[in-house]
Amino acid sequence: MAFPRRSSRNPRSRATFALLLLTAVTVLVLDLPGTGPLDPVRSVFATAFRPIRAAGNAVFEPLSNGWKGAFGYDDVRDENDQLRKELEERKGLEAEVERLQADNAELRKLNGITVEGVPTKAAKVVSGPLNSFEQVVRIDVGSSSKVKPLMAVVTGGGVLGRIADTDSASSTVELLTKPGVKLGAATTDGALGIVEGQGVGQPLLLTIDGDEDVDIEEGDWIYTSGIDRSAFPGDLPIGRVSKVTERADGLAPRIEVEPAADLSSRYVRVVLKDPPS
Amino acid sequence: MSPVRVAAVVVAALTVQVSLLSRFSFEGARPDVMILLAVIAGYVAGPDRGAIVGFAAGMSFDVLLSTPLGLSALVYTVVGYGVGAATVGMVRSSRIAPILVAAAGSAIGVLAYALAGTVLGEPTLDGPDLVAIVVFVAAINAVLAPLAVRAISWTISSDSDRRSPFALR
């Protein structure tokens, strides 16, 4: 099929191109992090598109499930095997956990510590990344459910990430693995540090504060510290140490942490603890 | 080129991208049908219309993405215009040509997006393997190219083009 085409040497063609480029760059500059005057506009358009998206989800869900069934069978089988193995291990740990819980409750009483229950809000993951470069998921609760940016999002396994932004009925969650996402962390020995994302599929990087000589080994659990100026309460599992690399030049060892949360979880909880102002 | 038809095609493509294609992942790479619209618009209708469709597709996608608003619009505009300018002398009767153009244009577009994102401080190079993304997006868009050619042809084949004062010429 042939249609009349205007050459790129046509002045009008170049003017159109220049105008569109200028508009895109202007919008880009206005939306740079920290400014955000276009957030309301973005929110309005996203809200307007929501019904179309919901209809699309309803229509395409079976196709998506079919794809996962066809191409993800091996993964599902492996995951099932892994879950069975973990279940067996957990059965053995139950008694130990009960004993430790009893000890913990007793110690808290002795120390006069009152544990305030932090409310959480259950949410469903409505979409994952929309293209290859996003490292976020979207959930179906927003500011109308008192969800605010920087709040913690957890799964049954541990910390999934933090709220990046919200509108009235949905929120965007930055995954723990996204570069630039940092959390205050603590080892089981009480040493404090910072855990930082390094990208999808990469382990987290743990940096221990100061020059503390920490005895840390592969398999050790890492938790949120709870004392960092963040909305993350303490003692939420972040992950397990997967690799400790000693460095010869006197620097602290490089500690890699495998996230405990399943980053593809469909159901999550938002910890409704207000971020520090 | 009818703005209403362009809007209809962009919204339909966006719905398919968000509700269907974004769920399919291969090694972390996900299809990107919005860039295909820009590439095919440039190929079928020329550089200026390629830029217009690229801008519309990119901006509408940007609204839903968590990346800076305008990033996709900027890259897709350049891609649409570039493909249009690069294929001016190409024989249009070939059935293979749009498929090859879709694959090559999408691959270049994905690379440009990753680089532009990095310049703006986005972790676009810290995600899935860039080679996997380029190959996957190019392959999917090559398959979808004939459909995109039909959709874009529909936006510019309207008789109302000649009558409408709002036609994008």
Give the residue from B66, B71, B75 with the most A CB atoms within 10 Å of its CB, the best one to mutate: B66
Residue whose token pair is 């100061």: A210
Q: Which residues of B touch A53 (CB under 8 A)?
A: 15, 18-19
User: Identity (one letter) of the amino acid at A141?
Assistant: V
Closest Cβ–Cβ partner in B44, B52, B110 for A3: B44
Q: How far apart are CA A230 and CA A243, in angstroms?
A: 27
Q: What percent of chain A shows pLDDT beyond 70? A: 81
Which member of A45, A132, A179 has the closest CB to residue B29?
Answer: A132
Is the ipTM beyond the 0.95 threshold?
Answer: no
* Partner-chain contact A7 B46, CB within 8 Å: yes
The answer on pLDDT for B84 being more than 60 is yes
Q: How far apart are CA A123 and CA A269, in angstroms?
A: 6
Average pLDDT on B139-152 reads 95
Q: Do B157 and A3 touch (CB under 8 A)?
A: yes
Cross-chain residue pair A27–B59, CB shorter than 8 Å: yes
Judged against a pLDDT cut of 50, whether residue A229 lies above it is answered with: yes
B8 pLDDT tier (thresholds 50, 70, 90): very high
Give the model's pLDDT for residue A115: 35
Looking at the predicted structure, is the pLDDT value of residue B35 above 90?
yes
Mean pLDDT of B113-123: 90
Q: Is A204 helix (H, G, I), strand (E, B) or coil?
A: strand
Query: Min CA distance, A13 vs chain B (Å)?
Result: 5
Nearest CB to A56 within list B19, B24, B114: B19
State pLDDT tens for residues A109-129: 545 433 346 788 888 888 888
Query: What was the pLDDT predicted at B57?
Result: 96
Mean pLDDT for chain A? 80
CB-based contact B71 A28, cutoff 8 Å: yes
Q: Cα–Cα distances in Å, from B151 out to A96, A146, B148?
A: 63, 43, 5
The Cα–Cα gap between A165 and B66 comes to 9
Q: Determine the pLDDT at residue B147.
A: 95
**Closest to A212 in 3D by CA, of A192, A182, A226, A242:** A192
Percent of chain B with pLDDT over 90: 66
> Which pLDDT belongs to residue A117?
67
Q: Across residues B18-28, what is the average pLDDT?
A: 85
pLDDT at A138: 92
Find which of A104-113, A164-173, A251-260, B98-107 is predicted with most confidence, using mean pLDDT.
Answer: B98-107
Contact B65 A130 (CB under 8 A): yes
The pLDDT value given to residue A107: 62
pLDDT of residue A37: 77
- pLDDT at residue B53, rounded to an integer: 96
pLDDT at res. A102: 67
Instruction: Say yes or no to pLDDT of A2 above 60.
Output: no
Q: Phi and psi at residue A41, in whole multiples of 5°?
A: -65, -45
Predicted confidence at residue A56, as pLDDT, reads 81
pLDDT category at A206 given cuts 50, 70, 90 is very high
pLDDT in tens, A39-49: 788 888 888 88
